[in-house]
Structure 1
Amino acid sequence: MTDPSSIERHSFDVLVVGAGGAGLRAAIAAHDAGAKVGLVCKSLLGKAHTVMAEGGIAAAMGNVWSDDNWQVHFRDTMRGGKMLNHWRMAQLHAQEAPDRVRELEEWGALFDRTPDGLISQRDFGGHRFARLAHVGDRTGLELIRTLQQRAVALGISVFMECTVTQLLKEGDRLSGAFGYWRESGRFVVFEAPSVVLATGGIGKSYKVTSNSWEYTGDGHALALDAGADLVNMEFVQFHPTGMVWPPSVNGILVTESVRGDGGVLRNNEGRRFMFDYIPEFFKAETADSEDEADRWYDDKANNRRPPELLPRDEVARAINAEVKAGRGSPHGGVFLDIASRRSPEYIQRRLPSMYHQFKELADVDITAGPMEVGPTCHYVMGGVAVDPDTGESGVTGLYAAGEVAGGMHGSNRLGGNSLSDLLVFGRRAGLNAAYAAARVRSAPAIADDDVRNAATAALAPFDGTGDENPYTVQHDLQDVMHKLVGIIRNADEMRDALDKLVELRERTTRMTVEGHRQYNPGWHLALDLPNMLQVSECIARAALERTESRGGHTRDDFPGTDDTWGSVNLLCHLDDDAVAVRRQPLPSMPDELRRLFDET
């Protein structure tokens, strides 16, 4: 039995779990508010999945279109989320994003420039104006580099390659966290009255995903186990364009910047099929040819955008429909063509990462020919239900920001809103976590029994006598979610998925891990799997409950959008260790914001 007194311990005012953009920004904000901050990351500092957000940071700075402002950005965000967004989060996001971008510039971020020397902004799907501040197609990398450099300069304590397996509580409030060093397997306890979750998404529950290995739903499950609610879990975004060939790179993201800079989608007949999927109110009345239609839609002054820049959920469904109709590419996707639209020099200057990615991984020169792309699990709109202004969950002392937090994006996230989301709400969560810690008169205690129980649970896979391998269980989980709770859903398949998830959960009790705790990836996966299963159950149960199609949730047995569901969010919570779903009315939007949607 593990002796709690022998376990490594650290004490902080604020502990931030996750070192992507949201975690780094939260840590910086908490430090600036006077807190002693610890930052825990599952991999190496600088390797967070934020680097895959390549296109840009959505912010209504008006550098390219002077008519852009926060009200238009707010309206675009709400419409993109099919009005299920928490209006206050969308408002704060739109209002504060420009300041967060300028802040990055002050800290050393090197943005692309307009001819006038302002920060350049590019087009992206669902945005009325070109508003994504960018660094070529490597914006996420520049954001991480800038925040990481500042965090290190401030002297924030960083614990790399360390995984948190359990949040600890005293009564109803947070007292800290329990984890282990991935290299040695040794346990570590963090004492902190405020904990900020910034752990990202859930993509590794799916077979085809753009997400990195860290995205196993850790933060979602930690919050759920601690007593918090998860909101909007049925809404999973399948990015329209992931690589589909060769198999070794299946799912790797192809940034929306390719389409924002002029790329178009074609089927195996060479036809630009997105013209067939434009909403009726947006269709051209006079276009008799592709060239004429192209000119009509590419008219930003009249709020007309190329159909490839429709919101991601709509483009993903269109690609899926083309493939199912037999008009897909040889390897089950469609063709993304920028070579016929832009010069090689333009492509290499604007999309250097994409050029090298396809050249090195698929032996395809995107300046000379099309790419094969298809939908890939990319982002979960659902996450911890938090207060919009503070980022605090329903559990005292527990905060969340970034992809692990829910409510901001409603049923569908617009491209570019993820990076501004993590900057705006990372800062807010960090500041308020620090303020709350400063108000705590005596730090909550961590009970020895809680530490012993956490250690026993972490070591359980080594004591197993069954014949289940964690890699086999994960493979089967990914297959279930891909086939039964994927881009198109129906009731029978989701009930089947829930039955299979019960079987998979039982199989995890029979997992056996061999070897020692040092450098043991099988053990690491065995500890991740309960989180993946719990989050997958939340997705399936909420998706079964919502009997309509909206945003990232499409049901072929309920293909239409139902207005009665337009004022309801679903919350997942634990009821005696079982996932339960309840309905919650949307918060009422103030009249001055509602009037924005009455304008033409």
Structure 2
Amino acid sequence: MIGYDEWHYDVLVIGAGGAGLRAAIEASATGARVGVICKSLLGKAHTVMAEGGIAAALSNVDERDNWQVHFTDTMRGGQYINNWRMAELHAREAPKCVHELESWGALFDRTEDGRILQRNFGGHKYPRLAHVGDRTGLEMIRTLQDHGIHMGMEVHMECTIISLLKDEGRIAGAFGYDRQRGGFILFHAPAVILATGGVGRAYRITSNSWEYSGDGHALAYQAGAALVDMEFLQFHPTGMVWPPGVQGILVTEGVRGEGGILLNNKNERFMFNDIPPLYRNQTADSPEEGWRYTQGDRDARRPPELLTRDHVARCIVREIREGRGSPHKGVYLDISWIREKMPDAPGFIRRKLPGMYHQFKKLAGIDITKEPMEVGPTTHYMMGGVMVDADTQMSTIPGLFAAGECAAGLHGANRLGGNSLSDLLVFGKRAGLYAAEFASQNKAGKTDDVNIQSLADDAVSFFRQADGENPYAVMTALQEMMQDFAGIVRTESELLQAKESLIQFRQRARKVRVEGNREYNNAWHTALDLQHMIIVSEAITLAAIYRKESRGAHFRIDYPDPDPVNGKMNQVIRKGSDGRMHVESIPLKPVRPDLQQLIDEMK
């Protein structure tokens, strides 16, 4: 028999980013005993990479902003595939969550009269992002982890979950291992919250860190929960493209929010050439005039570079493909031009964008106060995930909750910048509250030792392979395949090729060979991560095949236009009784009449 340690909790939170920490704080506030699983070290969650700010209608910079405008911006950005109830709750509750974070010690940039400063961001009608320079995510994590520790949450660092456990159809706990020592751990809990983030590691070029292997999505799917919107994977328009070792590292939208412009190799602001009809004045003499006309006097400074991320990313790809890109297959992002307008431009840039200044100085040898950056699209954010109830965040499995990037619904077909951090706060809080309530009403279920032994034996089977591929080689090949065939621009033939390739990858991943022992063995960790990465890759591919239209972040060359029928459907993925992945189209729920009226009035 393979031994394991045991822990008992009322609420188990898997993931220690913004959503997981906020959920743990709220559950702890009810008196529940809360355990937090951290794949890396506490404070190293991917949330620290969120730079631009937290979207919330505080109305500190523009009094015209309110939750109704934020709601309609979110719905429009998501191409109306969103879960409208989640969009409503998010817009209504985000301001309170920001003030709550502030009361716990978060230090925001300030207006001259001392209020929280807000900046422009893509897809938001008014300046809405509360920020801390370009290090907002780091400030959020610092604040939440400090408050969470004082609330009494218990943290298991460098621990990875490999399976969720159920008893009579509801959650009973989770089974994982200690990444340092290699020992197995059984967690008993009547309520489990998935807050594991995204899936970016399944692609070669990504802004995501190594933890983002789709663990929560795959764990939920394997346990029988429904996934939704998995075709909607956001490619952030601006990631570093040079040098090769830093390719994909995020360049915050805050650069464009503070005045950065996009240029091709002809020094043209190409974004003016592809302004969507929604923002265009058809009678204007030029694209530039048309854009300024539609924005109005007070918003004339908002550049077309701040259109939604899916649109900007596709425009950049077009420039590169048509030969107008930069030397390293990107385009130029230039904020140094403001030196012409502002006497203290270098100081302004270093003050507003300290992270970006140091990032390019150290990694690329570029001073962004004097010269442009080279940027290109990078795999960034998964809009799809675990299907949850809008109010409680519970999945289709009783006792299993999800929040943050791991959950789906709020963002629809495309996430607006800044909505991710407020998403973590609003729905992390809700998940923690309702998970604790569920735990108080339900005792922990039973766990089957035979099943646990089987899970442990399966996990160590890679050490017993007589021969087999290196897990790193299989992972790299998978990333290359997904980048080429299921990336930012998709076609039926390439998606079908990806589907066939995944059959082979599944077989290869089960036969990888790991040497050595279980202590500090990164090859073993990669072999286990591969199982999750292949599940999410298949879900993305199948959902993309079934959605025969272009909408938001999902762009099909063979179906370049939105389809009214597809636009009223969600693609839901479940594990069938045959063990295979099944896709089902389900109709969107009708929008509540008062909210529909808001949408119609602001279209």
User: Normalising to structure 2: TM-score of the pair?
Assistant: 0.97
| Change beyond 3 A, Cα 1:281–1:200 | closer
- Rounded to whole Å, the distance in 2 between the matches of 1:514 and 1:592 is 61
**Separation in 2, partners of 1:176, 1:289:** 57
Are 1:268 and 2:265 matched, yes or no?
yes
Q: 2:354 aligns with which of 352, 355, 378?
A: 352
Partner of 1:462: 463
1:153 to 2:154 alignment: no
* 1:20 and 2:17 aligned: yes
CA deviation string 1:176-222 (max 9, x = no partner): 01010000000111000000000000000000000000000000000
2:509 matches 1:508: yes
2:472 aligned with 1:471: yes
The alignment partner of 2:432 has SS state of helix
Mapped contact 1:232–1:571 kept (Cα < 8 A): yes
1:176-187, aligned counterparts within 5 Å? Answer: 176-187=173-184
**C-alpha distance in 1, partners of 2:264/2:294?**
20
| Larger CA deviation: 213-222 vs 278-287 | 278-287
Contact 2:29 2:151 in 1 (8 A): no
Task: Report the secondary structure of 1:189's partner residue.
Answer: strand
| In 2: Cα distance, 1:180 partner to 1:28 partner | 24
Aligned position for 1:482: 483
Match of 2:107 among 102, 105, 110: 110
Q: Find runs of 4+ consecutive structure 1 residues off by over 2 angstroms.
A: 280-290, 292-305
Helix, strand or coil for the counterpart of 1:558? coil
Supply the distance in 2 between the matched residues of 1:288 and 1:173 (Cα, whole angstroms). 60
Q: Does 1:126 align with 2:126?
A: no
Deviation at 1:91, TM superposition (A): 0.3
Contact kept in structure 1, 2:164 and 2:173, CA below 8 Å: yes
Query: Match for 1:584: what amino acid?
Result: I
5+ residue gaps, structure 1: none
Q: Which of 230, 245, 249 is matched with 1:252 structurally?
A: 249
1:502-530: CA deviations, max 9, x gaps? 00111112211000101100000000001
Which segments of 5 or more consecutive residues in structure 2 lack a partner in the other structure?
Answer: 340-344
Partner of 2:62: 65
Instruction: Look up the match of 1:378.
Output: 380
Alignment of 1:218-237 (within 5 A): 218-237=215-234
Query: Aligned letter for 1:321?
Result: R
| CA–CA distance in structure 1, aligned partners of residues 243 and 152 of structure 2 | 43
Give the drift of 1:302: 5.9
2: CA distance between counterparts of 1:593 and 1:438?
Answer: 34
Aligned partners of 1:297 and 1:304 also within 8 Å: no
Q: How does 1:68-79 map to 2 (within 5 A)?
A: 68-79=65-76
Query: Do the aligned partners of residues 125 and 112 (structure 1) sit closer, same or farther apart at CA in structure 2, a change above 3 Å counting?
Result: same
1:45-76 deviation line (CA, Å, top 9, x unaligned):
00000011100000001001111100000000
- Are the structure 2 counterparts of residues 447 and 303 from structure 1 closer, same or farther at C-alpha, using a change threshold of 3 Å? farther
Are positions 1:319 and 2:296 aligned together? no
- 2:303, 2:346 → 1: CA distance? 21
1:329-368 Cα distance to aligned partner (Å, 9 max, x none): 0000000000012511110010000000000000000000
In structure 1, what is the Cα distance between the partners aligned to 2:240 and 2:205?
A: 10
1:568-579 superposed matches below 5 A? 568-575=569-576, 576-579=578-581
SS at 1:599's partner residue? helix
Give 1:447 deviation, angstroms.
Answer: 1.2
Whichever residue aligns with residue 349 of structure 1, its letter is R
Supply the distance in 2 between the matched residues of 1:571 and 1:102 (Cα, whole angstroms): 36
Match of 1:279 among 263, 276, 280: 276
The one-letter amino acid of 1:353's match is: G
Distance in 1, matches of 2:335 and 2:290, equals 17
Q: Is the 8 A contact 1:297 1:306 kept in 2?
A: no
Residue aligning to 1:422 = 424
In the alignment, the residues of structure 2 paired with residue 598 and residue 84 of structure 1 have an alpha-carbon distance, to the nearest angstrom, of: 15
Rounded to whole Å, the distance in 2 between the matches of 1:136 and 1:586 is 38
Please state how far the C-alpha of 1:465 moved relative to its aligned partner. 2.0
Aligned to 1:436: 438
1:290-309 deviations in Å (ceiling 9; x for gaps): 6x678657746368831000
SS in 2 for 1:341: helix
Question: 2:279 is aligned with what amino acid?
Answer: F
Shift of 1:443: 2.1
- 1:591 and 1:509 map into 2 onto residues whose CA distance is 50
The alpha-carbon deviation at position 466 of structure 1 amounts to 2.7
Aligned pairs (5 A) from 1:389-428: 389-428=391-430
Partner secondary structure for residue 565 of structure 2? helix
**CA RMSD after TM alignment:** 1.4
Q: For 1:279 and 1:303, locate their aligned partners in 2 and report how far apart those are by CA, in whole Å.
A: 17
Which string of whole-angstrom CA distances, capped at 9 and with x for unpartnered residues, describes residues 531-551 of structure 1?
000100000000000000000
| Secondary structure of 2:332's aligned partner | strand
**CA contact under 8 A between 1:22 and 1:402: conserved in structure 2?**
yes
**2:482 is aligned with what amino acid?**
M
Matched, 1:138 2:109: no
Could you tell me which residue of structure 2 aligns to residue 307 of structure 1? Answer: 304
Amino acid at match of 1:474: M
Contact 2:275/2:291 (CA < 8 Å) preserved in 1?
Answer: no
Distance 2:208 2:110 in 1: 30
Separation (CA, whole Å) in 2 of partners of 1:281 and 1:58:
22
Q: Choose which of 559, 583, 601 in structure 2 pairs with 1:599.
A: 601
* Whole-Å separation in 2 of the counterparts to 1:61 and 1:505: 48
Which string of whole-angstrom CA distances, capped at 9 and with x for unpartnered residues, describes residues 384-431 of structure 1?
Answer: 000000000010110000000011100000000000001000000000
Identity across aligned pairs (percent)? 58
In structure 2, the residue matched to 1:453 is: 454
Q: Which AA in structure 2 matches 1:354?
A: M
* 1:81-100 correspondence runs (5 A): 81-100=78-97
Counterpart Cα distance in 2 of 1:588 and 1:355? 46
- Equivalent-residue separation in structure 1 for 2:37 and 2:285 (angstroms): 55
* Aligned counterpart in structure 2 of residue 50 of structure 1, from 44, 47, 51: 47
Give the direction of change, closer, same or farther, for the CA distance of 1:416–1:281 in structure 2 (3 Å limit).
closer
Contact 1:197/1:404 (<8 A) preserved: yes
Aligned partner of 1:337 among 331, 334, 338: 334
How far apart are the structure 2 equivalents of 1:173 and 1:300?
56
Alpha-carbon deviation of 1:432? 0.3
In structure 2, the residue matched to 1:520 is 521
| CA drift at 1:599 | 1.6
1:9 to 6, 10, 14: 6
SS in 2 for 1:177: strand
**TM-score relative to the length of structure 1:** 0.97
Q: Is the 8 A contact 2:57 2:95 kept in 1?
A: yes
Q: 2 CA distance for matches of 1:187 and 1:282?
A: 55
Read off the aligned partner of 1:155 and give its amino acid letter: G
CA distance in 1, matches of 2:287, 2:174: 61
Decide whether the 8 Å contact of 2:39 with 2:158 is kept in 1: yes
Cross-structure match for 2:558: 557
Query: 1:154: how far off?
Result: 1.7
What SS does the aligned partner of 1:10 have?
strand
Q: Secondary structure at the match of 2:337?
A: coil
* Structure 1 match to 2:496: 495
Does the 8 Å CA contact 2:37/2:157 hold for their aligned counterparts?
A: yes
Q: Is the 8 A contact 1:297 1:305 kept in 2?
A: no
3-state secondary structure, aligned to 1:563: coil
SS in 2 for 1:65: coil
